[in-house]
A and B are shown apart, each in its own frame.
Chain A
Amino acid sequence: MAETASQLSDAKLTARQRYLDAFRWMLLARILEEKLARLYRAGMIVGGVYIGRGQEAFSAALGMQLNRQEGDVYAPLIRDQAGRLAFGEAILDATRTYLGSVKGPMRGRDGNIHRGRPKQGLIAMISHLGTAISVANGMLVAKRFRGETQSIGGVCIGDGGTSAGAFHEAVNQAAVEKLPLIIAVADNQFAYSTPRDRQFACKDLVDRAIGYGIEGYSIDGTDLNACLETFAKAAQRARSGHGPQMVVGHLLRLSGHGEHDDASYIAPELKNQQYGGDCLEISTAHILGQEWMDETEMEALKAELQEQVDEAVATAQKEPAPDPFQESWHALATKHLTEGTPGI
């Protein structure tokens, strides 16, 4: 029998609210990404679609700890739709970028998950894995120069990305500079088709934290509570001067690498093993079990979020695509030093 609100302590109420807030971001991300995947299958999205199915809890829990208004910075990767939403990225930024609207933040110059608003703390990822971490470091160093010491950063990487030299250089750099940085490692057991035993030889990626001289946490990335608690603690530690925090979440990629990939190389049994569950199903069951919501409320929430997503898609679809004749074709901010295209 669940407790009634009046019987709950404030702390529990806050924890419950945080759980429900996170769940909302997770569900919104899932609904948005399922919509994007459908659009992709219908041939309405050019280029790839990359989704974070199964990683929403881990992703949202970091995004929720970062405060855009307070100057925090965030470097999401390809499976961080939930974290992006929690951080404050508009749904429209996603649909506009995926659908090639000229009104999106990337204006058709870049697509899908390669989007951001650097001036609002949201780093626009390039494809090259591991490279955004040192960029986040630089943003934090700039803030330190300005005395804005309340800001922290959150960066995301997969198990595969941790093998990149850029990852190592940047985490070590953050450690040397004692930056308030949370490094979220989503160990989803695969990097494209490559299983983790072809990627690294340590037992748990969190072991690396010791080598870097930073604090580390290894958690069940499908357990929303664990994610929320751990990232809250990591954020609190980062904000209070304890340097970089590495959080390794164990989970399973519940999709193809991209929507072009059927992931037939992932053995179905893995879903029944530890960390193989779907965080959204697990947290839905938790919410219903705790009677924080009933089935009807759950359905109503889904419908509400679906409506938001459909509206953002419809808006982006109505908007103009980039016009090559309107495009400035200037790669430099310093216009008079732009060469143009010799010979044309």
Chain B
Amino acid sequence: MSITYLEAIRAAQAKALAEDERVFIYGQDVAAFGGAFKATKTLSKEFPGRVIDAPISEDAIAGLAIGAAIEGMRPIVEMQFADFSSIAFNQIVNQAATQYWRTGVSCPLIIRLPSGGTDGSGPFHSQSMESLYSHYPGLIVMTPATVEDAYGMLLEAVAIEDPVIFCEHKFLYYHLKAEGLPDSILPVGKARIARAGRHATVVTCSAMVHESLRAAQELVNDGYEIEVVDLRTAKPIDTDTVLASVARTGRLLCVGEAFPWGGLTAEVVSRVVSEGFHLLDAPPKRLNAKDTPIPYHPNLWRVHRPTSQSIAAALRDLLSL
């Protein structure tokens, strides 16, 4: 039985609802309609009263989840698009993320962010916000790249005592399929070697793992073996796995779909430079989206974000140094 990334997210929520009575889902159009992407399809019927439609009030949606979490529930919030979580940003970074540290009372909630670009989505339905949320202390930021991780990490997120930002990639929703759902996954906080290699390391996450894997495949023809590290979580970063990979390859390219100023790729480069400078045979590189809003037209969008071609080009460049 093959299952998509999106179906895995739905299945994880169904399992969480079935096994943990503290879990409920709150978001716009999530109940009878099943969510804008159908990630909660039929769940309101299967779990009456526990999948709740919210008004268009992202601030209050996050706030309600925070209050419920403080009271011992395990709310799963669906933002209709990651981009709209900007309205909830204040509640997430100032209320949820500070709660445990300030009061000693933990705030276990999940904010699901349908993230990243797809054809024709434009500036306000395409954003990747993992770096923004990772900047703030008190949050765990997950960026699953596989069907298995989408499922397993969402279930892990329910078990975690802290607020989790769950960046699920819309580009992977329907494209990505697996043969079944895993019984277990790598522990949260551990990166995964998505492809082993010895000439250069690509560190990335989410949809960019797949672009990077394609680029790595392309470079086989040039005689290069590229290692691809899937971070899995933007926060925490598994620096050890990254450094071990760079120790094997001597070269580092960080690929991210988010905007280029700062962020996850910059953080990884910074850590490798400061903790593993001696491991590097060439200056580390970063490849991100362009420093403009995300364009609507597919012709523009495909160039705005990194793709297997631009990643392959960056790798060739890196390998020539």
A residues at B contact (CB < 8 Å) = 73, 105-107, 109-110, 114, 116-119, 123-124, 126-128, 131-143, 145, 165-166, 169-170, 172-173, 176, 330-334, 336-339, 342-343
Contact of A331 among B54, B62, B64, B137 (CB under 8 A): B137
Asked if A333 and B103 sit within 8 Å, CB to CB, the answer is: no
In the assembled complex, which residues on chain B have CB atoms less than 8 Å from the CB atom of A331? 97-98, 100-101, 137-138
Asked if B94 and A128 sit within 8 Å, CB to CB, the answer is: yes
Asked if B100 and A137 sit within 8 Å, CB to CB, the answer is: no
In the assembled complex, which residues on chain A have CB atoms less than 8 Å from the CB atom of B137? 331
Asked if B63 and A137 sit within 8 Å, CB to CB, the answer is: yes
B contacts with A: majority SS: helix
Asked if B90 and A173 sit within 8 Å, CB to CB, the answer is: no
Determine how close the nearest CB of chain B comes to the CB of A273; give it in whole angstroms. 36
Compute how far the CA of A170 lies from the CA of B54 in the bound complex, rounded to whole angstroms. 11
In the assembled complex, which residues on chain B have CB atoms less than 8 Å from the CB atom of A343? 270-271, 274-275
B residues at A contact (CB < 8 Å) = 24, 50, 54-55, 57-73, 75, 87, 90-91, 94-95, 97-106, 108, 137-138, 140, 160-162, 188-189, 235-237, 239, 267, 270-271, 274-275
Asked if B189 and A143 sit within 8 Å, CB to CB, the answer is: no
Please name the 10 residue pairs, one residue from A and one from B, whose CB atoms are nearest each other, closest first. Answer: A138-B67, A134-B63, A142-B71, A169-B57, A169-B60, A331-B137, A138-B64, A134-B60, A135-B67, A333-B106
Determine how close the nearest CB of chain B comes to the CB of A343; give it in whole angstroms. 5
In the assembled complex, which residues on chain B have CB atoms less than 8 Å from the CB atom of A138? 63-71, 73, 75
In the assembled complex, which residues on chain B have CB atoms less than 8 Å from the CB atom of A339? 235-237
Residue ID in chain B nearest A114 by CB atoms: B102
Asked if A143 and B71 sit within 8 Å, CB to CB, the answer is: yes
Contact A135-B102, Cβ < 8 Å, known A331-B137, A331-B138, A332-B140: no
In the assembled complex, which residues on chain B have CB atoms less than 8 Å from the CB atom of A126? 94-95, 98
Asked if B90 and A136 sit within 8 Å, CB to CB, the answer is: no
Determine how close the nearest CB of chain B comes to the CB of A103; give it in whole angstroms. 13
Determine how close the nearest CB of chain B comes to the CB of A337; give it in whole angstroms. 5
Determine how close the nearest CB of chain A comes to the CB of B232; give it in whole angstroms. 12
In the assembled complex, which residues on chain B have CB atoms less than 8 Å from the CB atom of A141? 64, 67-68, 73
In the assembled complex, which residues on chain A have CB atoms less than 8 Å from the CB atom of B58? 169
Task: Name which of B68, B71, B236 has the most chain A CB atoms within 10 A of its CB.
Answer: B71
Task: Name which of B54, B73, B95 has the most chain A CB atoms within 10 A of its CB.
Answer: B95
Compute how far the CA of A107 lies from the CA of B104 in the bound complex, rounded to whole angstroms. 10
The 9 listed contacts between A and B (C-beta, < 8 Å) are A110-B102, A131-B59, A138-B65, A138-B68, A142-B71, A165-B87, A173-B60, A173-B61, A342-B239
Asked if B63 and A337 sit within 8 Å, CB to CB, the answer is: no
Determine how close the nearest CB of chain B comes to the CB of A127; give it in whole angstroms. 8
Compute how far the CA of A126 lies from the CA of B62 in the bound complex, rounded to whole angstroms. 14
Residue ID in chain A nearest B67 by CB atoms: A138
Compute how far the CA of A339 lies from the CA of B188 in the bound complex, rounded to whole angstroms. 13
Task: Name which of A118, A127, A136, A173 has the most chain B CB atoms within 10 A of its CB.
Answer: A118
Compute how far the CA of A127 lies from the CA of B90 in the bound complex, rounded to whole angstroms. 11
Contact of A145 among B65, B73, B99, B108 (CB under 8 A): B73
Contact A166-B103, Cβ < 8 Å, known A145-B73, A172-B55, A339-B237: no
Asked if A118 and B70 sit within 8 Å, CB to CB, the answer is: yes
The number of A-B residue pairs with CB atoms under 8 Å apart is 159
Compute how far the CA of A331 lies from the CA of B102 in the bound complex, rounded to whole angstroms. 9
In the assembled complex, which residues on chain B have CB atoms less than 8 Å from the CB atom of A117? 103
Residue ID in chain A nearest B90 by CB atoms: A128
Asked if B236 and A166 sit within 8 Å, CB to CB, the answer is: no
Compute how far the CA of A132 lies from the CA of B189 in the bound complex, rounded to whole angstroms. 31
Asked if B103 and A105 sit within 8 Å, CB to CB, the answer is: yes
Determine how close the nearest CB of chain B comes to the CB of A74; give it in whole angstroms. 12
A-B contact sample (18 more), CB < 8 A, given A118-B105, A135-B66, A332-B100: A109-B102, A117-B103, A124-B103, A131-B91, A134-B57, A134-B63, A138-B75, A140-B67, A141-B67, A142-B67, A142-B70, A142-B73, A165-B87, A169-B57, A169-B63, A332-B161, A332-B162, A342-B267
Compute how far the CA of A131 lies from the CA of B91 in the bound complex, rounded to whole angstroms. 7
Contact of A139 among B70, B267, B270 (CB under 8 A): B70
In the assembled complex, which residues on chain B have CB atoms less than 8 Å from the CB atom of A137? 60, 63-64, 67
In the assembled complex, which residues on chain A have CB atoms less than 8 Å from the CB atom of B267? 342
Determine how close the nearest CB of chain A comes to the CB of B96; give it in whole angstroms. 9
Compute how far the CA of A139 lies from the CA of B66 in the bound complex, rounded to whole angstroms. 8
Contact A134-B67, Cβ < 8 Å, known A165-B59, A173-B60, A333-B106: yes
Contact of A173 among B57, B140, B161 (CB under 8 A): B57
Asked if B161 and A334 sit within 8 Å, CB to CB, the answer is: yes
Residue ID in chain A nearest B107 by CB atoms: A333
Asked if A131 and B236 sit within 8 Å, CB to CB, the answer is: no
Determine how close the nearest CB of chain A comes to the CB of B104; give it in whole angstroms. 8
In the assembled complex, which residues on chain B have CB atoms less than 8 Å from the CB atom of A73? 67
Contact of B188 among A118, A135, A166, A337 (CB under 8 A): A337
Asked if A131 and B55 sit within 8 Å, CB to CB, the answer is: no
Contact of A124 among B102, B106, B270, B274 (CB under 8 A): B102
In the assembled complex, which residues on chain A have CB atoms less than 8 Å from the CB atom of B103? 105-106, 116-118, 124
Determine how close the nearest CB of chain B comes to the CB of A73; give it in whole angstroms. 8
Contact of B162 among A133, A166, A334, A342 (CB under 8 A): A334
Asked if A170 and B236 sit within 8 Å, CB to CB, the answer is: no
Residue ID in chain A nearest B64 by CB atoms: A138
Residue ID in chain A nearest B101 by CB atoms: A331
In the assembled complex, which residues on chain B have CB atoms less than 8 Å from the CB atom of A173? 54-55, 57, 60-61, 64
Residue ID in chain A nearest B274 by CB atoms: A343
Compute how far the CA of A170 lies from the CA of B135 in the bound complex, rounded to whole angstroms. 26
Compute how far the CA of A139 lies from the CA of B105 in the bound complex, rounded to whole angstroms. 13
Compute how far the CA of A110 lies from the CA of B91 in the bound complex, rounded to whole angstroms. 17
Compute how far the CA of A332 lies from the CA of B24 in the bound complex, rounded to whole angstroms. 22
Determine how close the nearest CB of chain B comes to the CB of A134; give it in whole angstroms. 3
Determine how close the nearest CB of chain A comes to the CB of B77; give it in whole angstroms. 11
